[in-house]
Structure 1
Amino acid sequence: MNPGAAGGAPARSGTAPPAGAAGEVFLAFLKLGLSAFGGPIAHLGYMRREFVQRRAWLDEARFAQLLAVCQFLPGPASSQLGFAIGLVRGGWRGALAAFVAFTLPSVVLMFGFAALAPWLDGRLGSAIVHGLKLVAVVVVAHGLVGMARQLAPDAPRILIAGGVFALVSLAGSAWTQLAAIALGGVLGAWLCGHVRMPPCAGFAVPYGHRACLGFLALFLLGLCAALTVPASQAPTPAGLAAAFYRAGALVFGGGHVVLPLLQHGLVDTGWLDRETFLAGYGAAQAVPGPMFSLAAFLGGEVPLGLPAAAGALIAVAAVFLPGFLLLLATLPVWARLSRHRWGASVVAGINAAVVGLLAAAFHDPVWTEGVRAPVDMAVAALGLAMLAFARISSLWIVLWCVAASIATGWL
């Protein structure tokens, strides 16, 4: 749906949510957490059908406004939208209930995959892992094409995306990625003045404008801490939290973009090997719920010297927290922000930079690690055709790539 079509009468900030709504919020989002396959874009459709059409918790205008602010901010858009719906419906308890119910099933499944990973060392296990890497090739290629069409549809934004691709490919450090995102915003303010932001009439949330400053301060404090944690060869709980917080704070454009950010935080530091990293990303396509639940697998795999569950918990909390803090800081003032012309231009430039960032990650490591022979290219091409034209669930893509990898591995 088009967020720009939203309208509606203003809602008072601080309007009390329905009493006792947290329980129904939890059950409604648990249903989605157990069944919402297909990635972030599909999740938005599920939520619209469930909360606008079926339950009538929101009208179309309010849903479109919430969707617009979640797409404007960095972070996991579908999880932020669920958190916002829970907040509007059930206050703080409703927001927490929505997050836990929507995220917990996929977190448990991804942590379970981490527990099974040591059993995947044999010939069959290697074929399965390679199939999951082919899943990453298919899904990232599909996401890259869709994002390029949506976020780089004109010459100025294509230029920004191409420049970022070249910059990151030539000097692919974590700081280069941060600089590329910032550069995209600067160039967007200069080149993308024709982009407009959808209007907003405000939201009914259980706090006021003063609290926004507190949430923004917490976000910035966390980001400063994450950026200043010293790099080390041996992973530490603080270093792990910093890597995932940076990723969660800077993921513009969708869940796929977390891939290059986490690659630099976990793979380039030597904490995880590329094979494990891409296998986890491929497995994340096979579970319902938010893609950021990949953090449970990666956090459980990083050797911290602590129980794997501790690493998983640190990673999950750190990757989701910044997006939620920014959302809370923005909701009551979104109507005011949406009137500033520069906001849409800056975000347009950042989103174009994200396309270049994801293109660089698709080339290395997704393509270089996943496609080892012509048969791999054929398997990935057929999977991409199935996903793009047949529009089948990504779960079937996982089954196809893994089955094809096993079959070709035994020939």
Structure 2
Amino acid sequence: MRDVALLFLKLGTIAFGGPAAHTAMMRDELVRRRGWVTDERFVDLIGATNLIPGPNSTELAIHLGFDRARWRGLLAAGLCFILPAALMVTALAWAYVTYGQTPEVRGVLYGVVPVVIGIIAHALFGLLRVVIKNVWLAVLAVAALAAYLLGVNELLILASGAILAAAARVVRHPLRGRLHGLVAVPLAVGSGHPLFPNPGGGQLWQLFATMLKIGSVLYGSGYVLLAFLRGDFVDRLHWITEQQLIDAVSIGQVTPGPVFTTATFIGYVVAGPIGAFLATVAIFLPSFLFVGLLTRLTNTIRSSPWTSVMLDGVNVTALALMAGVSYQLARTAIVDPLTVAIAVVTLLLLWRTKLNNAWYIAAGALIGLAHTLIA
């Protein structure tokens, strides 16, 4: 459990770039460098966590912790992955509330994000060999990527991947294309200054309950999270302004670790440190519960012929989504010859060495700061 805690504490501190980057870094650390799980098991966990609501990279961390050290590992991995980001966001929220602005981090991100692009690209190439098992799955991956880039909902793409993979099995094995051996897999359905300097118990409870609801039903990207937060905290409760919401989402994006720590920022703006704590606990608590239930189903899913082929479809579409997000991130991060060089050199070093990702992140941050000072 100590090994799990230390590893995910480090990942939570350096994992910039969103869920796709987090997944790539976890693969590098757990599959490539430590050999704790195989690539086959790793992609199965990616697919399984895409079936439940909540922050997928956090849920992947929780499940990997369970694989390594059972229930204590489950708790250690999740808490240690979330904690660094939650503390950073709380500090930034304090600066925001106290001084009306947050510290400038663009210089750091200028150098760090191209490093993240290189890390993601390395992971994608490695996982392709495991996920693309035949020509049909390759076609499905291309179709899923195209659908994502055209704006199709992520959950619809994942569900279509599972259904099409099952349909392909019926075509290939018509005599066995029956419900025998089908395992039912339950899916959750769902789609300035503090305003309360002395919040009462009722207000704190409403903050907790609202964040708990969002963590229990939210599928999709940070843009979907933005829609949920706007609906509840801006339009319904009127606790924050539109600008405060945008600032909160921006802080969640530029800090390492889970993007869902946007909730930490909002909690602080609404009710100070206790609000930040309650909001963080509430939005992440469903992930621990969902993964705790999922651990009992993952092996069963893979052992059944029907659910196994459906999981293959989910895995390949999840990888396509990861590629699509990475492409969009690269378009905004690879902006000049220096950022191109950072990404390419990172990718080459990952292929040729087994250096820890933290060194690449640190080097990118230093290059970004130096570039900002010179500019």
Query: Comparing 163-172 with 104-113, which one deviates more in the overlay?
Result: 104-113
**What displacement does 1:64 show?**
11
Relative distance call for 1:64 and 1:277 in structure 2 (3 A) is closer
The equivalent residue for 2:356 is: 393
TM-score, scaled relative to structure 1: 0.61
The equivalent residue for 1:315 is: 283
**What displacement does 1:353 show?**
0.9
Cα distance in structure 1, aligned partners of 2:291 and 2:90: 28
The equivalent residue for 1:305 is: 270
**What displacement does 1:100 show?**
2.8
Which one-letter code corresponds to 2:307 in the other structure?
Answer: G
The unaligned stretches of length 5 or more in structure 1 are 1-25, 50-59, 88-94, 196-211, 228-234, 251-260, 285-293
Cα distance in structure 2, aligned partners of 1:384 and 1:103: 28
Cα distance in structure 2, aligned partners of 1:362 and 1:31: 27
1:181 to 144, 158, 162: 158
The equivalent residue for 1:325 is: 293
**What displacement does 1:396 show?**
1.1
Task: Tell me, yes or no, if the aligned pair for 1:188 and 1:348 is still in contact at 8 Å.
Answer: yes
Task: Tell me, yes or no, if the aligned pair for 2:43 and 2:131 is still in contact at 8 Å.
Answer: no
- Write the mapping of 1:128-139 to structure 2, written as runs, cut at 5 A: 128-139=108-119
Relative distance call for 1:151 and 1:385 in structure 2 (3 A) is same
1:115 and 2:85 are equivalent in the alignment: no
- Write the mapping of 1:175-324 to structure 2, written as runs, cut at 5 A: 176-191=153-168, 220=187, 223-224=188-189, 226-227=190-191, 240-246=211-217, 261-267=220-226, 271-272=245-246, 275-280=250-255, 283-284=256-257, 294=258, 297-302=261-266, 305-306=270-271, 307-324=275-292
Query: When the two structures are aligned, how many residues end up with a matched partner?
Result: 305
The equivalent residue for 2:66 is: 83
Cα distance in structure 2, aligned partners of 1:112 and 1:323: 24
Deviations 1:222-269 (A, max 9, x none): x23x33xxxxxxx9756644554456xx7xxxxxxxxxx332322466
Relative distance call for 1:164 and 1:65 in structure 2 (3 A) is closer
Relative distance call for 1:193 and 1:397 in structure 2 (3 A) is farther
**What displacement does 1:377 show?**
1.9
**What displacement does 1:135 show?**
4.0
Relative distance call for 1:194 and 1:77 in structure 2 (3 A) is farther
Cα distance in structure 2, aligned partners of 1:151 and 1:102: 25
Cα distance in structure 1, aligned partners of 2:48 and 2:261: 25
Which one-letter code corresponds to 1:79 in the other structure?
Answer: I
Which one-letter code corresponds to 1:162 in the other structure?
Answer: V
Relative distance call for 1:40 and 1:322 in structure 2 (3 A) is farther
Task: Tell me, yes or no, if the aligned pair for 1:241 and 1:314 is still in contact at 8 Å.
Answer: yes
Cα distance in structure 2, aligned partners of 1:141 and 1:193: 34
**What displacement does 1:317 show?**
1.5
Cα distance in structure 1, aligned partners of 2:293 and 2:246: 28
The equivalent residue for 1:42 is: 29
**What displacement does 1:379 show?**
1.8
Task: Tell me, yes or no, if the aligned pair for 2:169 and 2:309 is still in contact at 8 Å.
Answer: yes
Relative distance call for 1:47 and 1:192 in structure 2 (3 A) is farther
Cα distance in structure 1, aligned partners of 2:340 and 2:159: 35
Let me know the Cα RMSD of the aligned residues. Answer: 4.0
Deviations 1:18-63 (A, max 9, x none): xxxxxxxx556445555679524523578866xxxxxxxxxx9xx9
Task: Tell me, yes or no, if the aligned pair for 1:133 and 1:279 is still in contact at 8 Å.
Answer: no
Which one-letter code corresponds to 2:357 in the other structure?
Answer: S
The unaligned stretches of length 5 or more in structure 2 are 15-24, 51-58, 173-182, 192-205, 231-244
**What displacement does 1:110 show?**
1.5
Relative distance call for 1:30 and 1:183 in structure 2 (3 A) is closer
Task: Tell me, yes or no, if the aligned pair for 1:165 and 1:356 is still in contact at 8 Å.
Answer: yes
Cα distance in structure 2, aligned partners of 1:30 and 1:316: 17
Cα distance in structure 2, aligned partners of 1:385 and 1:65: 24
Task: Tell me, yes or no, if the aligned pair for 2:46 and 2:318 is still in contact at 8 Å.
Answer: no
**Secondary structure, in 3 states, of the residue corresponding to 1:356?**
helix
Cα distance in structure 1, aligned partners of 2:87 and 2:281: 13
